[in-house]
Amino acid sequence: MSLSEDAEESKLTSGQRTGAPVNRRAVCGGCNRVYRDPKILPCLHTFCSDCIGRLEPFSVCARGREGPERGGSGGSGGSGDAVDGHRAGVTVLCPHCDSEVDLPASGPAGLSTDHLALDQVFLEALRAGGPLGCDLCGEGGAESRCDVCCVNLCGFCCQAHRRQKRTACHSVQRLEELKSCGRLRRPILCSLHPGQELRLFCPPCDRPVCLECAATLHRDHGCRPARDAAERHGGRIREVVAASLRPRMERLKDALLQVDVSQDALQARVDATANEVRAFARAYASAVEAHCRSLLQRLEELRVQHRNQLHLQRAQLQQALLDVGGGVEFAERLLSCGSDAEILAAKGVTLRRLTGLLEAGYDTRPAGAAPDDAGAGIGFVAGEPAGEVDGYPLVGVVNATTLDLSRCTIEGEGVRRCVQGQRGHFTLVCRDSAGERVERGGEPVLVSVVHKEAKNWSSRRHGGTFHCCSFCSSGGAKEARCGCTGTMPGGFKGCGHSHRGHPGKPHWSCCGSTAEQSECLPPSVMRAVSPRGHLRTVEL
């Protein structure tokens, strides 16, 4: 960072201490200071290079699948930015969105530089008020700024700067003009030829170059004007944003609204059912009062279960909306505020992030009880027999379409005639927790049929915990594993509520069986389960 940029940072820092408003786009979210060498992460969030270097590695993996990384300064040249495809890369978590992002093998220096953030830093320094000193003589007050040398000049030094042969062609602007314009445009200079602006684009090398590089290192590469290349690549970014990501943002907002409506409907349904239970219980004596308390306890368990599912889904949809919104905001700001060279310098990481957001999947259907579907929600059946308490016959049960696999049975002639390894036919009778047969609805089930007189059969006792998920049973430990097919993003090795593969009900951690009174499934059955996925953590 140059002397003038250090002065700009000191000026902004003093403005922050005095309570003066500072443009947040000029401040790093990691260190809460003005940007110093800002770099763009693959998730399109910007942090100082030092802040990125201080992030704790999430994982280390081979980087053979990726090509050479582009230098963040946008400079041209045939060497210096290429990295060995077999060197190890580091994966870190973005401090802003908690995304898993891969750093190049060369470290933060291999990331793209956010020139828009640098422009905001300098523009904010001009708007902060107070005199700026001349960076050459240090005596007079600065009146102009050289865009090439990036130094502030007094009137005398400005005249000398224009008279010198080496700096006579430099672009010099008055500081008052820079303050009045809402957007500061500074040229991106070549890292190999200081003073040369990147005005051409080399299609084979996929990078902006200066005139000298185009005449030497990229002579036969068919370099074209940067403006023409920026129009083509900018059109691609604009098409992805307008045709796909904008509609996706609207769908995410609608999905969040539906989740909120489902939460309200769930609470209203629970309250209504509780009122029915209380009204029915008041007609009975002490035995009926005890039965009422048991029904309310069951109802509360169902409410908490569905509420947690909706809460988690809402957090996931909010995170997806933040991701898409951040990508769209950055892309639109790049297209509207960035110069041709700036668009080209950031187009690679921008398109990769936007394409990743476009390919990301999400479930917009509210989890839990649907308010419009009477067969899939929570209800109270007043005329249903509920047994006896102290000799008093009771009626009224809380109905929920949740199967109790420990009470389900298989029936039919095919059970007695079935042969191991051959197709058989039998009837699976599903029952709820009360042992009553479920005659509507339905869920996909996986059953293991073992002959009760098999010679080599022996009882397999469970060696794990019968839990709702490994995240809850372990207190949030990432190393906790589970035998079910559930996966949880963010480095968790076990399952979590409403995440991919979770069976949706309590199960054994050793084998994934959902029947509490059952035998532990053998390893051959566990290996037949689909492989685990890896998703990003969403923190509630």
Q: pLDDT tier at 3 (50, 70, 90 boundaries)? A: very low
What is the pLDDT at residue 398? 79
Is 70 exceeded by the pLDDT of residue 538? no
What is the pLDDT at residue 267? 92
| Among the ranges given (50-59, 146-155, 405-414, 448-457), the one the predictor scored with the smallest mean pLDDT | 448-457
The 3-state secondary structure of 60-103 reads: EEECCCCCCCCCCCCCCCCCCCCCCCCCEEEEEECCCCCCEEEE
Q: pLDDT tier at 524 (50, 70, 90 boundaries)? A: low
Question: What mean pLDDT do residues 91-106 have?
Answer: 86
**Tens of pLDDT, residues 466-496:** 888 888 888 888 888 888 878 888 778 888 8
Region of 240 on the Ramachandran plot (φ > 0 left; ψ -120 to 50 alpha; else beta): alpha
Q: pLDDT tier at 256 (50, 70, 90 boundaries)? A: very high
**Tokens (6 digits) for 99:** 């995304």
| Among the ranges given (15-29, 86-100, 147-161, 441-455), the one the predictor scored with the smallest mean pLDDT | 441-455
The one-letter amino acid at 210: C
**Tokens (6 digits) for 50:** 């030092």
Instruction: List Cα–Cα distances, 374 to 189, 266, 369, 413, 432, in angstroms.
Output: 66, 12, 9, 35, 17
Residue 317 near residue 366 (C-beta atoms within 8 A)? no
Domain boundaries, the chain: 23-57+89-130, 228-359, 378-429
Largest interatomic CA distance in the chain:
109
Q: What does the mean pLDDT of the chain come to?
A: 75
What is the pLDDT at residue 441? 47
Is 70 exceeded by the pLDDT of residue 186? no
What is the pLDDT at residue 452? 53
Q: Which long-range contacts (CB under 8 A, 24 or more apart) does 287-290 make?
A: 287/389, 287/390, 287/391, 287/392, 287/394, 288/389, 288/392, 288/394, 290/389
Q: pLDDT tier at 237 (50, 70, 90 boundaries)? A: confident
Question: What mean pLDDT do residues 51-74 have?
Answer: 59
Q: Which of 273-277, 278-282, 317-321 holds the top average pLDDT?
A: 317-321
Per cent of the chain over pLDDT 70 is: 71
Q: pLDDT tier at 394 (50, 70, 90 boundaries)? A: confident
What is the pLDDT at residue 257? 92
| Among the ranges given (3-12, 74-83, 420-429), the one the predictor scored with the smallest mean pLDDT | 74-83
Is 70 exceeded by the pLDDT of residue 68? no
Q: If DSSP codes are grouped into helix, strand and coil, which group holds residue 143? A: coil
- Assign domain 23-57+89-130 to a CATH class: alpha beta
Question: What mean pLDDT do residues 284-289 have?
Answer: 74
Is 50 exceeded by the pLDDT of residue 44? yes
Q: What are phi and psi of 321, to 5 degrees?
A: -65, -40
Question: What mean pLDDT do residues 283-303 have?
Answer: 80
Is 70 exceeded by the pLDDT of residue 93? yes
Question: Over the range 49-74, which residues count as b (16 or more CB within 10 Å of their CB) and which as e?
Answer: bebbeebeeeeeeebeeeeebbbbbb
What is the pLDDT at residue 264? 92
How many Å apart are CA 5 and CA 120, to the nearest integer? Answer: 12
Is 60 exceeded by the pLDDT of residue 318? yes
How many Å apart are CA 463 and CA 17, to the nearest integer? Answer: 59
Question: What mean pLDDT do residues 513-537 have?
Answer: 55
**Tokens (6 digits) for 285:** 């004596």
Q: pLDDT tier at 244 (50, 70, 90 boundaries)? A: confident
Is 70 exceeded by the pLDDT of residue 33? yes
Is 50 exceeded by the pLDDT of residue 296? yes
What is the pLDDT at residue 491? 79
Residues in the chain: 540
Q: pLDDT tier at 65 (50, 70, 90 boundaries)? A: very low
